[in-house]
Amino acid sequence: MSKGVLATDKRGVRELGAEKKVGWDEVPQGVVLNSFDDNVDNLSHLRPEERPYSDFNSFTATVASWRVIKPVYNRDICIDCQNCWVWCPDTSIISRDKQMIGIDYDHCKGCGVCVEVCPTNPKSLLMFTEAVDNEEALSGWPEKKKKEKK
């Protein structure tokens, strides 16, 4: 795992190298947001935390306050299939070297798609209200469901 890339259970506080996260309600109306200030050649191979983002862009702005429910991730069950990473509409699943690391709670909007596509039994991602502590959610994780006999 790269240094500084950690998925936390707190909303809006995970840092991927950005100095500061701001909410979208702090963006002046009509402003043009440039993603990068510097040369943008050959950036595609860089991880998000290594890219030279401008001070104010969709990466440094958080949408955490939009969410009322959140996905919680259970590493113990995950098989690293990457389904959640492929389907998340906000690229808020953090995966490194084909290993699922966690949720980017700064940008996740709580749509629940990742939970729907998770194939494990029980699921490795489940939705909880924002008020639920992640450790608490993990401690009450459901057991494996047995297949019904036909």
**Least distance to ligand SF4, CB of residue 123, Å:** 7
User: What's the DSSP call for residue 147?
Assistant: P
Tokens of 89: 């509409």
C-alpha distances in angstroms, 38 versus 17, 19, 54, 57, 135?
A: 16, 17, 8, 13, 40
Q: Which chain residues interact with ligand SF4 by CB under 6 A? A: 71, 78-84, 88, 90, 92-93, 100, 103, 108-114, 117-118, 120, 124-125
**Least distance to ligand SF4, CB of residue 150, Å:** 26
User: Does residue 119 contact residue 81 with C-beta atoms inside 8 Å?
Assistant: yes
Closest to ligand SF4 by CB, 19 or 97: 97
Q: How deeply is 125 buried, as exposed, middle or buried, from its count of CB atoms within 10 A (0-12, 13-18, 19+)?
A: buried
**Least distance to ligand SF4, CB of residue 26, Å:** 21
**Least distance to ligand SF4, CB of residue 111, Å:** 4
